[in-house]
Structure 1
Amino acid sequence: MAAPALTPRRSTGGIVAVWVAAAVIGLSIGLFVPSDWRAAWLVVGLGGCLILAFAVQLGYGRSQGYIQRVAISILGAFVVLGVISLGFGLASIIPG
């Protein structure tokens, strides 16, 4: 029989790590992918963030609040990638 965890680890680090990974993925897509293919690659990047969120939250080994932690991670990654794609869109319409 396993002993209960008296002070479980904080899960905010794993959530923020997925958000940071989304920012790095989004900026990498902006730098290395042609503008015609950015939207498609942003979807692929969000899928990678989903897999990362599952892996990070499974790594904590706690079942309480697992779905909520994964949902917060993915929602944050979605918002981060959305803001980055908004920046790409605004940059494409501004004449340079």
Structure 2
Amino acid sequence: MALPELAPRRTFGGIVAVWVLAALIAIVVGVFAAPDWRAAWLGVGLGGCLIVAFATQLWSGRSQGFTERVAASILGAALVMGVISLGFGLAALVPG
């Protein structure tokens, strides 16, 4: 018999925290990495976001919806990193 949680922790904050981390990683990679190495470093950054997403969701202590929360974290992180890298790619096309 499962007991209901008396005061469940909020889980959306952990998902958004991974998205913010992904944005920070993408900006740092876009600014400091050489254009030829940006894609490789973005992959490394996304791997780091995966580890942080697992750690964040394990820390919340809720087993219900664990897979969905981690998937939402990683999918959002990939989208955030993709949009930011698209911006850096378009900026590289503009002559300056």
Give the TM-score category using the shorter length. Answer: over 0.9
Q: What is the root-mean-square deviation of aligned Cα atoms in Å?
A: 1.3
Residues of 2 paired with 1:72 and 1:95: CA distance?
37
Residues of 2 paired with 1:40 and 1:57: CA distance?
26
Residues of 1 paired with 2:70 and 2:30: CA distance?
25
Q: Which amino acid aligns with 1:54?
A: F
Q: Does 1:57 find its partner at 2:57?
A: yes
Give structure 2 stretches of 5+ with no counterpart: none
Q: Which amino acid aligns with 1:88?
A: F
Counterpart in the other structure of 1:67: 67
Aligned pairs for 1:14-93 (under 5 A) are 14-93=14-93
Give structure 1 stretches of 5+ with no counterpart: none
Matched pairs, number: 95
Residues of 1 paired with 2:46 and 2:69: CA distance?
16
SS at match of 2:14: helix
- How far did 1:4 drift? 4.3
- How far did 1:5 drift? 2.1
Give the structure-1-normalised TM-score.
0.94
Identical-pair percentage: 68
Residues of 1 paired with 2:85 and 2:28: CA distance?
12
- CA deviation string 1:56-96 (max 9, x = no partner): 00000110000000000000000000001101110111111
